[in-house]
Amino acid sequence: MNDVCLEMDNPKTPLCKSDRIMMKYMGNNPETDPKKNTNGGKTGNGNILPLGAKIKRRTSLVNRRRWIVNIEFFLAMVGIIIMMIETELFIKYKVEKTSMTSFSLKCVISATTAMLLVSICMYYYTGAQIKAIDTGVKDWVSVISSWTVLSMTTELLVCSIHPFPGDLKMEYVSPIGTGHKVSVDAVLSIVMMSRLYLVAKFAVAHSRLLTDTSTHSIGALSKVKINTLFVFKAAMTNKPGQLLLFVMIMTFLVNCWAMRTCELYYERGNIEKNSYLEIMWLIAITFLTVGYGDKTPRSYCGRYISIVTGAMGVVTTALLVAIIARQLEQSRPERYVFNFVSRMQVKYRIKTAAANVIKATLRIWILRQYGDEFKREIRKYDDKLKQGLKEIKNAKEEMEHIGEDAVGIVDVIHGVERIGLQLEKKLNRIDYLEKHITDLQDQFQTIDQKLEDIKGMLLKR
């Protein structure tokens, strides 16, 4: 017993351990003490780690996932840059797809794509390990959901698309009806631009909202998921203008390059007509949903790019309108001042209408003293009386609706004051009814007493 007490008094002895089912008191033994455990920090139950080891393990996994995201971003950007170089060599300098230069560049693109796909798999593997630690599950495979599998499959499919080495051609019929063989690299290069979503992934991975441990703790207590959508909403709240400007510029530049690539792949001899300035004008009027019609795409690929550009323009315009509307909203102090001034004006209207009601009532009473000689004047003041009563009713209803959207101490005070007045009226009404009921009871008792007296008098006779 003394040994047990001395062992539990040891400051290095943890108070309790968790095994996912119940909490158990424990002492310093080889199975639970990390210093004496020879299984690499694991306990006798398998993969269950102490709390400190779990936190350290999770921190290392989060840092590894951030490092993997950095690799994904780097590989994606390298692949996109090399792809753009190869495309410009083909369009501007007439470097054929079968040349050694084009083949070498495409091989590098394929190599970066393969490494990118491996990095994506490692990213999801690390995320599953983090989720297993958070949920206290031994096997990380059991925490993989169907949504995770779908997301990983979609991401692998999107990032695997790139211009393959060689010269792959397909039969193409232009909108005017002429048919010829064209390279599929134009479509593959444009779809490869979808890897730019990794820019957002890179920004989210390095956001302080995800790297800060306290944010995850507060989110867990509040049952709020700290994910990409949360970071995007936070960015739209803190810096909406900068974020929207960045999205607009990126959309404009990517769509300009995609439109120029589409047009020049299928009309290689018309470089001057499809210059960057001409394409920028076409994308601008399409993005702004203006569409003057002075310049239109001549290929099906270009038309698809125009549709996507118009859809992006509509979404961006909606976000811009929402941001402007938010900026034009009143601040809380401005709303307080506006509500206070509105209440003062409504109270003045109520007082004025009440004074008009009193004056109209007095006028009607005085005119009725003279008989039926002033019926027209009585009718006129009667209308004024009704108008004043209606004005009082409308003003009171407006007073109740002032400041409904405000949540502040001033509005709470006004709300409490209004509720107090209503309660006072109800209590006065209840007191009046109780007094009236008491009077009725007294009258009933008096009547009952009189009936008894009458009954006694009749019996005596």
Q: What CATH number is given to the structural domain containing 302?
A: 1.10.287.70
| Domain end marker among 329, 360, 394 | 329
Report yes or no on 4 lying in a domain.
yes
Q: ∠ at Cα 216 (211, 219), nearest 5°?
A: 140
Name the one residue in this structure whose structure tokens are 């007294």.
442
How far is residue 92 CA from its own chain's centroid? 44
| 65 & 178 share domain | yes
| 201 & 63 share domain | yes
Report yes or no on 225 lying in a domain.
no
Rounded Cα distance between 66 and 130, Å, is 12
What is the DSSP track for 370-433? Answer: T-GGGHHHHHHHHHHHHHHHHHHHHHHHHHHHTTTT--SHHHHHHHHHHHHHHHHHHHHHHHHH
| 125 & 55 share domain | yes
For the chain, 461 residues long, give each residue's pLDDT as a single digit of tens.
445 444 444 444 444 444 443 333 333 444 444 444 444 344 444 456 677 787 788 888 888 999 999 999 999 999 999 999 999 898 888 888 889 999 999 999 999 999 999 999 999 999 899 888 878 888 888 888 899 999 999 999 999 999 999 888 888 777 776 777 888 888 899 999 999 999 989 988 888 777 676 676 677 667 777 777 888 888 888 888 888 889 899 999 999 999 988 888 876 656 666 778 888 888 888 888 777 777 788 888 888 898 999 999 898 888 888 888 888 887 777 877 888 888 889 999 999 999 999 999 998 888 888 877 778 888 888 899 999 999 999 998 888 877 655 556 666 777 788 888 889 989 999 998 998 898 898 888 888 888 888 888 888 76
Report yes or no on 373 lying in a domain.
yes
- Phi-psi group of 379: left, alpha or beta (phi > 0 → left; psi -120 to 50 → alpha; rest → beta): alpha
| 71 & 97 share domain | yes
| 436 & 341 share domain | no
| 96 & 202 share domain | yes
How far is residue 215 CA from its own chain's centroid? 17
| 245 & 192 share domain | no
Give the residue numbers spanning the domain of 384. 337-407
Report yes or no on 353 lying in a domain.
yes
| 195 & 318 share domain | no
Report yes or no on 85 lying in a domain.
yes
Report yes or no on 211 lying in a domain.
no
Contact criterion met (CB below 8 Å) for 82 and 112? yes
**138: helix, strand or coil:** coil
Count of the separate structural domains present in the chain:
5
| 300 & 155 share domain | no
